[in-house]
């Protein structure tokens, strides 16, 4: 059934997800600090709001797809003052403690929160194949699962806000580790004389295959495109949040600590806006060799 929905943050991930909601027949009210990001959706009939508060004044259900915990907190504070909003569905990666604090603040305003981070990248957002990790009470899940299925496969990971965030951080730690360690292995092999495409084929037929060897290296790194669509700064943020949660839970993360250090270096040296696949350049610079290109 078509609904009036709001979505705040229509950039790399939020834009394609908003587009899928329009495709599914929903009527959207959107807001983003970038007018350029809103323009394609407005051209398709979405109503461009003046602020996050304006969205919350117009619709009962507000989604958010935002880059950092601080931005999500600020937006949630605006939404809390909205005159119509009843449910806030956060698709962002904020970490569990931020999500719990936001949920408590919204509850005081009689606004329900659905903790629902997503994974699968820009391609998954466009195709509707994201993993949607939902933590909320069962009645809220029953109410919103049909809408969330527009984005991809819905997984109920728990009832408490924050559990979706823990699931997302665990997922992104593994993704970040795969990209970092694959970069090191590939540079080593190429410097020793192996062909990078042969390396990828062998690894993907063997026990070392992972998301970087199956997707990012053959499609983005070897052709030297570096346009996967997720930034080094955001990946470092997610790994940092994951290790902060591990520390709070008294869970040691020896490998995770090394991964965080490398992503921190990549974000600082390449710039936080660099594509995550560019982390291989850090290893290449140190080794004095290059993976991929025309061979």
The residues annotated with a catalytic role in the active site are 168
Closest CA to 213 of 280, 258, 114, 167: 280
- Please state, in angstroms and rounded to a whole number, the distance separating the CA atoms of residues 295 and 293: 6
Closest CA to 203 of 188, 190, 185, 191: 185
* CA-based radius of gyration for the chain: 20
- Tell me the CA distances in angstroms from 221 to 69, 179, 186, 187, 271, one per residue in order: 29, 11, 11, 12, 18
**H helix intervals, 158-223:** 163-192, 196-205, 211
141, two tokens: 């899940």
- Please state, in angstroms and rounded to a whole number, the distance separating the CA atoms of residues 205 and 188: 19
- Please state, in angstroms and rounded to a whole number, the distance separating the CA atoms of residues 290 and 155: 40
What count of other Cβ atoms lies within 10 Å of the Cβ of residue 142? Answer: 10
- In which element (H, E) is residue 113 found? strand 112-115
242, two tokens: 């994951």
Q: Count of residues for the chain?
A: 295
**H helix intervals, 43-154:** 52-58, 69-79, 96-107, 121-127, 138-148
Contact (Cβ atoms closer than 8 angstroms) between residue 154 and residue 134: yes
């Amino acid at each position: 059934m078509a609904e009036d929905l709001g979505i705040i943050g229509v950039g790399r991930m939020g834009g394609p997800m908003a587009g899928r909601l329009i495709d599914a027949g929903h009527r959207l009210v959107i807001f983003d600090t970038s007018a350029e990001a809103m323009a394609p959706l407005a051209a398709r009939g979405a109503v461009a709001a003046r602020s996050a508060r304006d969205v919350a004044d117009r619709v009962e259900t507000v989604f958010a797809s935002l880059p950092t915990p601080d931005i999500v907190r600020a937006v949630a504070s605006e939404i809390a003052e909205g005159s119509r909003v009843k449910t806030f569905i956060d698709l962002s990666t904020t970490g569990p403690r931020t999500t719990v604090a936001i949920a408590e603040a919204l509850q005081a305003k009689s606004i329900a929160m659905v903790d629902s981070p997503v994974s699968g990248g820009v391609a998954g957002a466009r195709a509707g194949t994201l993993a949607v990790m939902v933590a909320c009470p069962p009645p809220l899940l029953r109410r919103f699962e049909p809408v969330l299925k527009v984005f991809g496969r819905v997984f109920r990971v728990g009832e408490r806000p924050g559990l979706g965030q823990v699931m997302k951080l665990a997922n992104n730690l593994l993704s970040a580790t795969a990209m970092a360690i694959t970069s090191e292995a590939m540079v080593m092999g190429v410097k020793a004389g192996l062909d990078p495409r042969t390396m990828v084929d062998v690894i993907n037929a063997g026990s070392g295959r992972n998301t970087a060897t199956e997707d990012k290296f053959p499609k983005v790194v070897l052709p030297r495109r570096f346009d996967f669509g997720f930034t080094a700064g955001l990946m470092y943020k997610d790994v940092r949040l994951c290790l902060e949660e591990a520390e709070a839970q008294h869970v040691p993360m020896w490998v995770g600590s090394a991964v965080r250090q490398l992503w921190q270096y990549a974000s600082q040296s390449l710039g936080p806006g660099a594509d995550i696949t560019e982390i291989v350049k850090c290893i290449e610079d140190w080794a004095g060799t290059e993976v991929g290109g025309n061979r």
